[in-house]
Amino acid sequence: MATLPSTYRAVVCHEYGQPLALDTRPIPAAEPGTAIVKVLSTLVDPSEKHRLLLSKRNPYFSQQPPFIPGSGAVGRVAALGKDATSLQVGQLVLLDCFVRGRDDPNAQILRGVFEGPTPAAKKLSHQPENCYPLDEKVLLSKVEQGGLEYGISDLPYLSKHSVAYGGLRSIDLKAGQTIIITPATGNHGGAAVQVASAMGARVIAVGRNAKALQDLKEKIPRVYPVQLTGDFAEDTKTLSQFGTIDAFMDFTPSSMASPLHLKACLAVTKTYGQGVLMGFPQGEISLSYGMMLAKNINIRARYMYDAEDVRGLIKLAERGLLKLGHSSGAQVVSYTLDQYGDAISRAAEQQTWGLQVIMHPFTE
């Protein structure tokens, strides 16, 4: 086993509202129950996340500085604690940013974003968790060798897909069903369109950006783009043309006070249909109590996902059903760690699905 270096470099938030810094930090020891991972590729979220979560301390999502902001990553196991039984040094893994306590599901964090509101969650934020093995032979080998021929840069977007898969599993979406996804043109909504299609569903992609909707239609199978007007009667008529609607999924962002389109989605969803709310609007929603009751509609809120969802999603990708990176039709742009400022700025240029900005802290 190769000797670990004594230090590593990382982009660090030292204080909310201040520029990020590229620091050199000591590499921790691989204690029991932990793994040290050499990060090869990490996803840079659109800068809306950096503006909202790093410009000032957010009452909902915050972490005590200094901390390393970031989302999911892909890397290789560099060292393991003595009690490791399944992971191997050199193994390719997905590092998931969301952690839910194994013995306390109320303790949950977004590593690098949100350390949780309770002492139990804060304790969890300092424990290495959620390191998922990836089948390197399948994902990275050339097609003539039976692989999918992805590059390392194609893999970190699995962290966005995981959110969508958790929501779709929570409503038991099945192949052949029809689901409305709204708004479908952002990073989370676009990822949901990809995953729902990979699961065999027909997707009604709702949004305001006509070009982004057209991109989804052209690059992902079984996608039907729809621009809603905000007028309940007109939008209901538009959605009704697709026949039976089994479910709807909402990703209304924090920049929108309330999701006006949900009333139309509810109106066209079949009796005993499903709905799942996964956005983060700051306002309230108003839906017809009588309609939900009469149609036996089951609407649930879903925050992130479970570990089993991540494992299922990885299988979906390893079987070639969920296309990743360039193969999905997305533009993948890569930067080195020293170019972190440029990477954040590039991600800010396009908030819609179709651009994946990646940083490479290390290369192989």
Distance between CA 158 and CA 314 in Å, rounded?
8
Identify which has the larger pLDDT, 86 or 171.
Answer: 171
Calculate the alpha carbon distances from 12 to 59, 75, 112 in Å.
Answer: 20, 19, 10
What digits encode the pLDDT tens for the residues 12-51? 989 888 888 999 999 988 888 788 999 999 999 875 445 5
Mean pLDDT of 241-250: 97
pTM exceeding the 0.85 threshold for the entire prediction: yes
Query: Does 220 have pLDDT greater than 90?
Result: yes
Distance between CA 183 and CA 168 in Å, rounded?
15
Query: Does 121 have pLDDT greater than 90?
Result: no
Identify which has the larger pLDDT, 55 or 142.
Answer: 142
Asked whether the domain spanning 162-301 has the same topology as the one spanning 7-157+327-360, the reply is: yes
pLDDT at 3: 80
What digits encode the pLDDT tens for the residues 267-317? 999 999 999 999 988 788 889 999 999 999 999 999 988 889 999 999 999
Q: Could you tell me the residue ranges of all domains in the chain? A: 7-157+327-360, 162-301
Beta strands in the chain, from DSSP E residues, in sequence order: 7-12, 21-26, 35-44, 73-80, 92-95, 98-100, 108-110, 131-133, 178-182, 202-206, 223-226, 245-250, 269-277, 298-301, 331-336, 355-360
Distance between CA 1 and CA 84 in Å, rounded?
15
Confidence band, pLDDT 50/70/90 cuts, at residue 102 = low
- Tokens coding 322: 């969920």
pLDDT at 98: 76
Alpha helices in the chain (DSSP H): 47-54, 119-124, 136-140, 158-170, 187-198, 210-219, 232-240, 262-268, 289-295, 307-318, 340-348
Topology given in CATH for the domain delimited by 162-301? Quinone Oxidoreductase; Chain A, domain 1 (3.90.180)
Distance between CA 111 and CA 350 in Å, rounded?
24
pLDDT at 120: 52
Give the residue from 247, 235, 124, 126 showing the smallest Cα distance to 178: 247
Calculate the alpha carbon distances from 56 to 49, 98, 342 in Å.
Answer: 11, 21, 21
Distance between CA 14 and CA 304 in Å, rounded?
27
Mean pLDDT of 232-251: 96
Distance between CA 237 and CA 228 in Å, rounded?
10
Backbone angles phi, psi at 84, to 5 degrees: -65, 135
Instruction: Compute the Cα dihedral for 185, 291, 277, 305 and give only its sign.
Output: negative
pLDDT at 48: 46
Question: Is 4 in contact with 36 (CB distance < 8 Å)?
Answer: yes
What digits encode the pLDDT tens for the residues 174-193? 999 999 999 999 999 999 99
Q: Pairing state of beta strands 92-95 and 131-133? A: antiparallel
- Tokens coding 159: 């962290």
Query: Does 111 have pLDDT greater than 60?
Result: no
DSSP state letter for 28: P
- Tokens coding 47: 């800068």
Question: Is 338 in contact with 22 (CB distance < 8 Å)?
Answer: yes
**CA triple 231-235-241, angle to 5 deg:** 160
Q: Which CATH number fits domain 7-157+327-360: 3.40.50.11690, 3.40.50.300, 3.30.110.40, 3.90.180.10?
A: 3.90.180.10
